[in-house]
Amino acid sequence: MLLYIWKRLASGLLVLFGVSVLSFSLIHLIPGDPVRLMLGEQVTQEQVEQMREELGLNRPVPHQYIDYMAGVIQGDFGTSLKSDRPVLQEIMERFPATIKLAVSGIAIAIVLGVAMGVLAAKYKDTFIDTAFKFLTSLGVSLPSFWLGILMIMFFAVYLKWFPIAGGTGLDDLVLPALTLGILVSATIARMTRSGMVEVMSNEYIRTARAKGLSETTVLFKHAFRNVMIPIVTFIGLQAASLMGGAVIIEKVFSWSGIGTLAINAISQRDFPMLQGVVLFMGIVYVVINIIVDIVYSVIDPRVDVRAEGGASNG
Protein backbone atom coordinates (compact mmCIF):
# COMPACT_ATOMS: atom_id res chain seq x y z
CA MET A 1 0.00 0.00 0.00
CA LEU A 2 2.86 2.37 0.83
CA LEU A 3 4.43 1.76 -2.59
CA TYR A 4 1.07 2.34 -4.23
CA ILE A 5 0.66 5.64 -2.40
CA TRP A 6 4.12 6.75 -3.55
CA LYS A 7 3.21 5.88 -7.14
CA ARG A 8 0.01 7.91 -6.91
CA LEU A 9 1.95 10.82 -5.42
CA ALA A 10 4.50 10.62 -8.24
CA SER A 11 1.78 10.67 -10.90
CA GLY A 12 0.08 13.52 -9.06
CA LEU A 13 3.30 15.54 -9.13
CA LEU A 14 3.50 15.05 -12.90
CA VAL A 15 -0.04 16.35 -13.26
CA LEU A 16 0.78 19.31 -11.03
CA PHE A 17 3.78 20.08 -13.20
CA GLY A 18 1.46 20.26 -16.21
CA VAL A 19 -0.98 22.47 -14.28
CA SER A 20 1.84 24.77 -13.19
CA VAL A 21 2.97 25.17 -16.81
CA LEU A 22 -0.61 25.89 -17.86
CA SER A 23 -1.22 28.46 -15.13
CA PHE A 24 2.12 30.13 -15.80
CA SER A 25 1.37 30.25 -19.53
CA LEU A 26 -1.92 32.10 -19.08
CA ILE A 27 -0.26 35.49 -19.12
CA HIS A 28 1.77 34.58 -22.22
CA LEU A 29 -1.02 32.98 -24.26
CA ILE A 30 -3.47 35.86 -24.27
CA PRO A 31 -3.46 37.88 -27.50
CA GLY A 32 -1.87 41.30 -27.37
CA ASP A 33 0.32 42.81 -24.71
CA PRO A 34 -0.68 41.39 -21.29
CA VAL A 35 0.72 44.39 -19.43
CA ARG A 36 -1.35 46.84 -21.48
CA LEU A 37 -4.41 44.65 -20.98
CA MET A 38 -3.88 44.78 -17.23
CA LEU A 39 -3.19 48.51 -17.07
CA GLY A 40 -5.56 49.65 -19.81
CA GLU A 41 -4.81 51.73 -22.86
CA GLN A 42 -4.35 55.10 -21.14
CA VAL A 43 -0.87 54.40 -19.77
CA THR A 44 2.59 55.66 -20.58
CA GLN A 45 5.43 53.52 -21.86
CA GLU A 46 7.27 54.12 -18.58
CA GLN A 47 4.38 52.63 -16.63
CA VAL A 48 4.33 49.62 -18.96
CA GLU A 49 8.05 49.03 -18.50
CA GLN A 50 7.75 49.41 -14.75
CA MET A 51 4.97 46.80 -14.63
CA ARG A 52 7.02 44.43 -16.81
CA GLU A 53 9.89 44.71 -14.37
CA GLU A 54 7.64 44.18 -11.33
CA LEU A 55 6.13 41.04 -12.89
CA GLY A 56 9.45 39.84 -14.25
CA LEU A 57 8.13 39.82 -17.80
CA ASN A 58 11.31 41.45 -19.09
CA ARG A 59 13.26 38.26 -18.35
CA PRO A 60 13.49 35.12 -20.55
CA VAL A 61 10.42 32.87 -20.23
CA PRO A 62 12.28 29.87 -18.72
CA HIS A 63 13.71 32.14 -16.02
CA GLN A 64 10.24 33.53 -15.36
CA TYR A 65 8.85 30.01 -14.85
CA ILE A 66 11.68 29.02 -12.50
CA ASP A 67 11.16 32.19 -10.44
CA TYR A 68 7.39 31.61 -10.40
CA MET A 69 7.71 27.99 -9.19
CA ALA A 70 10.38 28.91 -6.65
CA GLY A 71 7.90 31.34 -5.15
CA VAL A 72 5.02 28.83 -5.28
CA ILE A 73 7.08 26.21 -3.43
CA GLN A 74 7.62 28.78 -0.68
CA GLY A 75 3.92 29.64 -0.60
CA ASP A 76 4.25 32.80 -2.67
CA PHE A 77 1.68 32.73 -5.49
CA GLY A 78 2.33 36.34 -6.36
CA THR A 79 0.53 39.58 -5.53
CA SER A 80 -2.90 40.65 -6.75
CA LEU A 81 -2.76 43.65 -9.05
CA LYS A 82 -6.12 44.96 -7.81
CA SER A 83 -5.92 44.48 -4.03
CA ASP A 84 -2.12 44.54 -3.75
CA ARG A 85 -2.40 41.59 -1.36
CA PRO A 86 -0.77 38.14 -1.57
CA VAL A 87 -2.70 35.89 -3.94
CA LEU A 88 -2.54 32.86 -1.65
CA GLN A 89 -3.88 34.90 1.27
CA GLU A 90 -6.95 35.92 -0.72
CA ILE A 91 -7.48 32.37 -1.95
CA MET A 92 -7.30 30.95 1.58
CA GLU A 93 -9.80 33.55 2.78
CA ARG A 94 -12.27 32.37 0.11
CA PHE A 95 -11.49 28.65 0.36
CA PRO A 96 -13.54 27.92 3.53
CA ALA A 97 -16.67 29.26 1.82
CA THR A 98 -16.03 26.99 -1.17
CA ILE A 99 -15.44 24.00 1.13
CA LYS A 100 -18.69 24.72 2.93
CA LEU A 101 -20.63 24.88 -0.34
CA ALA A 102 -18.93 21.84 -1.90
CA VAL A 103 -19.31 19.58 1.15
CA SER A 104 -22.95 20.56 1.62
CA GLY A 105 -23.73 20.03 -2.06
CA ILE A 106 -22.00 16.64 -2.19
CA ALA A 107 -23.74 15.51 1.03
CA ILE A 108 -27.13 16.39 -0.42
CA ALA A 109 -26.22 14.70 -3.72
CA ILE A 110 -25.15 11.47 -2.00
CA VAL A 111 -28.30 11.23 0.11
CA LEU A 112 -30.66 12.03 -2.77
CA GLY A 113 -28.76 10.08 -5.42
CA VAL A 114 -28.24 6.87 -3.48
CA ALA A 115 -31.78 6.87 -2.08
CA MET A 116 -33.36 7.42 -5.50
CA GLY A 117 -31.06 4.90 -7.21
CA VAL A 118 -31.70 2.13 -4.70
CA LEU A 119 -35.45 2.80 -4.70
CA ALA A 120 -35.62 2.73 -8.51
CA ALA A 121 -33.63 -0.53 -8.64
CA LYS A 122 -35.88 -2.13 -6.04
CA TYR A 123 -39.03 -1.17 -7.98
CA LYS A 124 -37.57 -1.74 -11.43
CA ASP A 125 -40.01 -1.36 -14.36
CA THR A 126 -42.73 0.16 -12.18
CA PHE A 127 -44.20 3.65 -12.06
CA ILE A 128 -41.54 4.63 -9.50
CA ASP A 129 -38.79 3.57 -11.90
CA THR A 130 -40.40 5.48 -14.77
CA ALA A 131 -40.69 8.62 -12.66
CA PHE A 132 -37.07 8.17 -11.62
CA LYS A 133 -35.89 8.01 -15.23
CA PHE A 134 -37.79 11.19 -16.06
CA LEU A 135 -36.47 13.12 -13.05
CA THR A 136 -32.84 12.06 -13.51
CA SER A 137 -32.95 12.85 -17.23
CA LEU A 138 -34.29 16.27 -16.32
CA GLY A 139 -31.61 16.68 -13.65
CA VAL A 140 -28.66 16.00 -15.95
CA SER A 141 -30.13 18.25 -18.65
CA LEU A 142 -30.86 21.37 -16.59
CA PRO A 143 -28.32 24.19 -16.89
CA SER A 144 -26.96 25.01 -13.45
CA PHE A 145 -27.55 28.76 -13.81
CA TRP A 146 -31.18 28.20 -14.83
CA LEU A 147 -31.87 25.91 -11.87
CA GLY A 148 -30.17 28.38 -9.55
CA ILE A 149 -32.30 31.27 -10.81
CA LEU A 150 -35.41 29.11 -10.52
CA MET A 151 -34.55 28.28 -6.89
CA ILE A 152 -34.06 31.97 -6.12
CA MET A 153 -37.34 32.94 -7.78
CA PHE A 154 -39.40 30.28 -5.98
CA PHE A 155 -37.83 29.92 -2.51
CA ALA A 156 -36.37 33.40 -2.03
CA VAL A 157 -38.62 35.77 -3.99
CA TYR A 158 -42.01 34.01 -3.94
CA LEU A 159 -41.95 32.03 -0.65
CA LYS A 160 -39.36 34.29 1.06
CA TRP A 161 -37.93 31.33 2.96
CA PHE A 162 -34.29 32.14 2.28
CA PRO A 163 -32.18 35.20 1.43
CA ILE A 164 -31.82 35.91 -2.27
CA ALA A 165 -28.01 35.96 -2.47
CA GLY A 166 -24.84 37.57 -1.22
CA GLY A 167 -24.38 36.19 2.30
CA THR A 168 -22.22 33.44 3.78
CA GLY A 169 -24.44 32.23 6.63
CA LEU A 170 -26.36 28.98 6.98
CA ASP A 171 -29.55 30.43 5.48
CA ASP A 172 -27.57 31.72 2.51
CA LEU A 173 -25.99 28.28 2.03
CA VAL A 174 -29.23 26.30 1.60
CA LEU A 175 -30.18 27.31 -1.94
CA PRO A 176 -26.74 27.05 -3.61
CA ALA A 177 -26.01 23.76 -1.82
CA LEU A 178 -29.41 22.37 -2.80
CA THR A 179 -28.87 23.45 -6.41
CA LEU A 180 -25.50 21.71 -6.54
CA GLY A 181 -26.89 18.65 -4.77
CA ILE A 182 -29.79 18.24 -7.18
CA LEU A 183 -27.57 18.53 -10.24
CA VAL A 184 -24.96 16.03 -9.01
CA SER A 185 -27.51 13.64 -7.48
CA ALA A 186 -29.06 12.90 -10.88
CA THR A 187 -25.86 11.24 -12.13
CA ILE A 188 -25.24 9.44 -8.82
CA ALA A 189 -28.81 8.11 -8.90
CA ARG A 190 -28.45 6.77 -12.45
CA MET A 191 -25.13 5.10 -11.63
CA THR A 192 -26.60 3.59 -8.46
CA ARG A 193 -29.67 2.25 -10.25
CA SER A 194 -27.76 0.67 -13.16
CA GLY A 195 -25.27 -0.95 -10.79
CA MET A 196 -27.95 -2.20 -8.41
CA VAL A 197 -30.08 -3.67 -11.21
CA GLU A 198 -27.09 -5.64 -12.45
CA VAL A 199 -26.06 -6.83 -8.99
CA MET A 200 -29.59 -7.74 -7.87
CA SER A 201 -29.77 -10.47 -10.53
CA ASN A 202 -26.76 -12.31 -9.10
CA GLU A 203 -27.00 -15.65 -7.34
CA TYR A 204 -25.64 -14.45 -4.00
CA ILE A 205 -28.50 -11.92 -3.71
CA ARG A 206 -31.06 -14.71 -4.11
CA THR A 207 -29.12 -16.73 -1.55
CA ALA A 208 -29.16 -13.84 0.93
CA ARG A 209 -32.91 -13.50 0.52
CA ALA A 210 -33.36 -17.26 0.91
CA LYS A 211 -31.58 -17.05 4.26
CA GLY A 212 -34.34 -14.74 5.45
CA LEU A 213 -32.30 -11.55 5.61
CA SER A 214 -34.27 -8.33 5.61
CA GLU A 215 -34.60 -6.45 2.33
CA THR A 216 -32.69 -3.50 3.78
CA THR A 217 -29.75 -5.77 4.65
CA VAL A 218 -29.82 -7.35 1.21
CA LEU A 219 -29.96 -4.00 -0.55
CA PHE A 220 -27.29 -2.13 1.38
CA LYS A 221 -24.97 -4.76 2.88
CA HIS A 222 -24.83 -7.19 -0.02
CA ALA A 223 -25.88 -5.29 -3.15
CA PHE A 224 -24.92 -1.67 -2.67
CA ARG A 225 -21.40 -2.48 -1.42
CA ASN A 226 -20.61 -3.98 -4.83
CA VAL A 227 -21.61 -0.87 -6.75
CA MET A 228 -19.75 1.59 -4.51
CA ILE A 229 -16.51 1.75 -6.53
CA PRO A 230 -17.77 3.73 -9.56
CA ILE A 231 -19.94 5.86 -7.27
CA VAL A 232 -17.04 6.69 -4.94
CA THR A 233 -14.90 7.53 -7.97
CA PHE A 234 -17.54 9.86 -9.38
CA ILE A 235 -18.16 11.51 -6.01
CA GLY A 236 -14.43 12.07 -5.60
CA LEU A 237 -14.14 13.69 -9.01
CA GLN A 238 -17.17 15.87 -8.34
CA ALA A 239 -15.86 16.83 -4.91
CA ALA A 240 -12.54 17.82 -6.47
CA SER A 241 -14.29 19.95 -9.08
CA LEU A 242 -16.55 21.62 -6.53
CA MET A 243 -13.67 22.26 -4.14
CA GLY A 244 -11.98 24.04 -7.01
CA GLY A 245 -14.96 26.31 -7.20
CA ALA A 246 -18.48 25.82 -8.51
CA VAL A 247 -18.03 28.91 -10.64
CA ILE A 248 -21.51 29.32 -12.11
CA ILE A 249 -23.37 28.52 -8.90
CA GLU A 250 -21.15 30.83 -6.87
CA LYS A 251 -21.76 33.63 -9.35
CA VAL A 252 -25.53 33.13 -9.46
CA PHE A 253 -25.83 33.19 -5.67
CA SER A 254 -23.02 35.75 -5.15
CA TRP A 255 -21.27 33.21 -2.94
CA SER A 256 -17.83 34.47 -1.92
CA GLY A 257 -15.80 31.42 -2.88
CA ILE A 258 -12.93 30.61 -5.18
CA GLY A 259 -15.17 30.49 -8.25
CA THR A 260 -16.27 34.08 -7.72
CA LEU A 261 -12.64 35.06 -7.11
CA ALA A 262 -11.66 33.56 -10.48
CA ILE A 263 -14.48 35.35 -12.32
CA ASN A 264 -13.53 38.65 -10.71
CA ALA A 265 -9.88 38.12 -11.63
CA ILE A 266 -10.84 37.60 -15.26
CA SER A 267 -13.09 40.67 -15.41
CA GLN A 268 -10.50 42.81 -13.62
CA ARG A 269 -7.60 41.47 -15.73
CA ASP A 270 -5.83 40.42 -12.55
CA PHE A 271 -3.63 37.76 -14.16
CA PRO A 272 -1.46 36.94 -11.10
CA MET A 273 -4.68 36.16 -9.20
CA LEU A 274 -6.01 34.05 -12.07
CA GLN A 275 -2.72 32.15 -12.27
CA GLY A 276 -2.84 31.48 -8.55
CA VAL A 277 -6.45 30.30 -8.60
CA VAL A 278 -5.84 27.91 -11.51
CA LEU A 279 -2.77 26.41 -9.84
CA PHE A 280 -4.50 26.13 -6.46
CA MET A 281 -7.51 24.44 -8.03
CA GLY A 282 -5.16 21.99 -9.75
CA ILE A 283 -3.47 21.14 -6.45
CA VAL A 284 -6.83 20.54 -4.76
CA TYR A 285 -8.03 18.36 -7.66
CA VAL A 286 -4.91 16.17 -7.61
CA VAL A 287 -4.89 15.75 -3.82
CA ILE A 288 -8.55 14.70 -3.70
CA ASN A 289 -8.09 12.24 -6.57
CA ILE A 290 -5.17 10.60 -4.76
CA ILE A 291 -7.33 10.30 -1.64
CA VAL A 292 -10.15 8.77 -3.70
CA ASP A 293 -7.78 6.21 -5.24
CA ILE A 294 -6.64 5.14 -1.79
CA VAL A 295 -10.18 5.02 -0.42
CA TYR A 296 -11.60 2.74 -3.07
CA SER A 297 -8.59 0.43 -2.92
CA VAL A 298 -9.56 -0.02 0.74
CA ILE A 299 -13.28 -0.38 -0.01
CA ASP A 300 -12.75 -3.12 -2.60
CA PRO A 301 -10.01 -5.66 -1.69
CA ARG A 302 -10.17 -6.94 -5.28
CA VAL A 303 -8.36 -3.77 -6.41
CA ASP A 304 -4.71 -4.66 -6.80
CA VAL A 305 -2.76 -1.74 -5.38
CA ARG A 306 0.43 -3.29 -6.75
CA ALA A 307 -0.70 -2.88 -10.34
CA GLU A 308 1.26 -0.36 -12.38
CA GLY A 309 -1.92 1.33 -13.54
CA GLY A 310 -3.07 1.99 -9.99
CA ALA A 311 -6.48 1.35 -8.48
CA SER A 312 -8.31 3.13 -11.28
CA ASN A 313 -7.12 0.39 -13.67
CA GLY A 314 -7.32 -2.44 -11.18
Instruction: Residue 287: give its domain's CATH number.
Output: 1.10.3720.10
* Structure confidence at residue 308 as a pLDDT band (50, 70, 90): very low
Backbone phi, psi, residue 86, to 5°: -60, 135
Residue 19 domain flag: no
pLDDT single digits (tens) 234-291 = 787 777 777 655 778 888 888 888 888 888 888 777 778 888 888 888 888 888 877 8
Residue 75 domain flag: no
Residue 59 domain flag: no
254 Rama sector, left if φ>0, alpha if ψ -120 to 50, beta otherwise: left
> Higher pLDDT residue, 152 or 223?
152
- How many domains does the chain contain in total? 1
Contact call for residues 238 and 47 (beta carbons, < 8 A): no
* CA dist., res. 64 & res. 188, Å (int): 43
The residue among 205, 150, 137 whose CA lies nearest residue 179 is 150
Residue 44 domain flag: no
* Structure confidence at residue 217 as a pLDDT band (50, 70, 90): confident
Q: How many helices (H) and strands (E) does the chain have?
A: 14, 0
Residue 95 domain flag: yes
Domain span at residue 239 reads 87-313
Radius of gyration of the chain (CA): 24
Residue 1 domain flag: no
pLDDT single digits (tens) 106-165 = 899 889 988 888 888 888 888 888 888 888 888 888 888 888 888 888 888 888 888 776
Residue 234 domain flag: yes
Q: Give pTM, 2 decimals.
A: 0.74
pLDDT confidence of residue 230: 77
Tell me how far apart the 2 most distant CA atoms of the chain are, in Å.
84
Residue 78 domain flag: no
